Copies of this chain bind each other. A is one copy, B any other.
């Protein structure tokens, strides 16, 4: 058994040749291109530009350094979540070719013909298919890994297999805890400081966030991707692919549905503050469409799957299924609200806000992201449909 060692670009070339993905005689090119927070990501290619991605987990968080140790088991979780989701939704899941436990390494399809969605949204591009495709992908991956479809025994086996303490703890801390109290990890833009302090004394907000955290901690509804933001989505003009599932675990469905919606709305707040006129109106309209599509297609497909494919006799009640979907809606909006807040005042920011050069515009964008986050969390029980979320966003940014 190979011992773990951190790969260099030369190591990666030798590794993929030994695995037989390229002939040894070929002249290969390898470049480390990771821009994430936790891992090494290498692209290996031959002269004809046939290529593969080799992703290696480091035994610590790359963005912080060796002082923040992290389990290498996250490479197993990432590979196994993506393989499970690929079985269910191959069209929209990156293809995992090989996983190596000792080296904490995953070999996967290179998506070099795709772009990362976050960057494209920041640039104002339009992907009219992504909301519908993501809604469908979410419904499929969440339904088929839930109690509706799996036997209780198989579900329990899967829950145990995907217990993911280290990575979940990052979310538990950075998403639900730190943004609402003093913590040195918080990263707060100076003009946003007063608003960030107000979060810490909003009793109802703190109670709602506690409830959302408790659900994250102990509601094993389905096998989540666990980090479904617009940086985990690769898009082109026809389709999309989900990558980066190392935060995967059995958790509440609304977390996976709410994360991308929170990210669309972060972009909404950023775009509304940095653009004007027709450019602004067009882009906000695009973002409303993708938000609406993600939820409505998810809800429609989930309703059909529950109706057609539920195996558990007791869960076949149509009234229960309708109530369940409503509870996923409330969770979705709550987690989207948490994402808006934690990406503004927590450790990990997003370019949708941070790339705004002009201080006042960024301050307005951040104030709106916080206000919208609070409104979604505090007022979601009064929302009837996704349109209420869009109306709230419009009202807050004044669009």
Q: What is the interface of chain A, defined by CB distance below 8 A to chain B? A: 147, 152-153, 155-157, 159-160, 163, 165-166, 168-169, 172, 176-177, 180-181, 203-204, 206-211, 213-214, 217-221, 250, 312-317, 319-320, 323-324
Contact = CB atoms under 8 A, between A and B. Distances in A.
Contacts of A153: 165-166, 169
Contact of A181 (B147, B181, B207, B313): B313
Contact of A176 (B163, B177, B314, B316): B314
8 contacts: A155-B217, A160-B163, A176-B314, A177-B314, A210-B314, A210-B317, A213-B312, A218-B219
Contacts of A221: 218
Nearest to A313: B177
Contact of A214 (B172, B204, B324): B324
Nearest to A322: B207
Contacts of A220: 218-220
A311 B323 CA distance: 32
B217 A152 contact: yes
B152 A207 contact: no
A165 B180 contact: no
Nearest to A324: B214
Nearest to A211: B320
Given A147-B217, A147-B218, A176-B314, A211 B156 contact: no
Contacts of A217: 147, 152, 155
A81 B312 CA distance: 28
Given A206-B320, A211-B324, 16 more contacts: A147-B217, A152-B217, A153-B166, A153-B169, A156-B163, A159-B163, A176-B314, A177-B313, A203-B319, A210-B315, A210-B316, A213-B312, A214-B320, A218-B219, A218-B220, A219-B220
Contact of A206 (B157, B177, B207, B317): B317
B156 A172 contact: no
Given A206-B319, A314-B213, A152 B177 contact: no
A223 to B, nearest CB: 12
A188 to B, nearest CB: 18
A319 B165 contact: no
B213 A315 contact: yes
A159 B219 CA distance: 12
Contacts of A203: 317, 319
Contacts of A165: 152-153, 156-157
Contacts of A172: 152
Contacts of A156: 163, 165, 168
Contacts of A155: 217-218
Given A156-B168, A207-B320, A214 B315 contact: yes
A319 B207 contact: yes
Nearest to A252: B218
Which of A160, A168, A177, A314 is the most central at the interface, judged by chain B CB atoms within 10 Å of its CB?
Answer: A314
A131 to B, nearest CB: 28
Contacts of A313: 177, 181
A294 to B, nearest CB: 24
Nearest to A181: B313
Contacts of A169: 152-153
A250 B208 CA distance: 23
Contacts of A207: 317, 319-320, 323
A157 B165 CA distance: 8
Contacts of A152: 165, 168-169, 172, 217
A147 to B, nearest CB: 5
